[in-house]
Amino acid sequence: MNVATTIQQVREQVRAWKKAGLTVGLVPTMGYLHEGHASLIKTSVSRCDRTVVSVFVNPTQFGPNEDLESYPRDFDRDSALCESLNADLVFHPEVSEMYAEDAATYVEILSDMPKQLCGKTRPIHFRGVCTVVAKLFNIVQPDRAFFGEKDAQQLAVIRRMVRDMSYGIEIVGCPIVREPDGLAKSSRNTYLNAEERKAALCLSRAVGLGKRMVLDGERDARCVVNAMTNLIMQEPLAKIDYVQAVDGVTMEPTDDIYQDVLVAMAVYIGKTRLIDNFSVRL
């Protein structure tokens, strides 16, 4: 497995692969890889001839007073995991390699889509996500790119950007990976102390409750959301950012449950903001 730190190195390698007629998969990450990321890499390796994993903590998607500086990093560990999973290239650039000092160009969706859910409290987040992913697409030129369904709004936003910008890239969503007790895998789980880690289970319990209500025939999204909200509020360490049902494609709020509705949440456990969700399958 090779490690590239410059855009030119990546382009030269991918050019050689493409010349040989090989397909290329891209797994964009911010590092501190866990089993969720591993599932993306495994899927890419199984579906593409060559796999590129980017490890880059992207500053443009962090707002003021967010956790850019404290975001967990361990590149040696990440690199070893990528190699063990048969990734072919890890792209690990410095910020200066990705963004010129006077960079002034961004990719942004101007509909209400990125203003919903996480966008309400993180107004610049999806502009930063779209910009860095667009740059990675331009650098790697992948045939397929793999994203986790835990970041459901991000996945929807990326799909819209790819459609609107006419990227010839297949976007592959991969299922949420959970701990044995149900907590969704996240790099931010490392912020939790023992008491907070136990309290964080209120998110997956709320997801389970919502799924059961839908399976039992509930079609009023407000009832589902209220029940999930009440369950989370029983946990003293939890502070709700949002619990909401939205259309799974447009991210617009809905009062009705139908196929592919997304029921998503963001909850602070102590100072740590965690997300979880489920999509309706009828």
Catalytic residue chosen out of the listed positions 34, 37, 92, 125: 37
Full pLDDT tens readout for the chain, 282 residues: 999 999 999 999 999 999 999 999 999 999 999 999 999 999 999 999 999 999 999 999 999 989 999 999 999 999 999 999 999 999 999 999 999 999 999 999 999 999 999 999 999 999 999 999 999 999 999 999 999 999 999 999 999 999 999 999 999 999 999 999 999 999 999 999 999 999 999 999 999 999 999 999 999 999 999 999 999 999 999 999 999 999 999 999 999 999 999 999 999 999 999 999 999 999
The pLDDT, as a whole number, for residue 42 is 98
Q: Does 37 participate in catalysis according to the annotation? A: yes
- For the chain, the residue count is 282
Note whether 160 and 113 are within 8 A (CB).
yes
Residue 69 to residue 105: CA distance in whole angstroms: 23
Residue 157 to residue 126: CA distance in whole angstroms: 8
Tokens representing residue 260 in the block: 């592919």
Beta bridge partners of 265: 243, 276
Beta bridge partners of 74: none
Verdict on whether the full-model pTM lies above 0.85: yes
Residue 193 to residue 208: CA distance in whole angstroms: 24
Note whether 53 and 91 are within 8 A (CB).
yes
The pLDDT, as a whole number, for residue 257 is 98
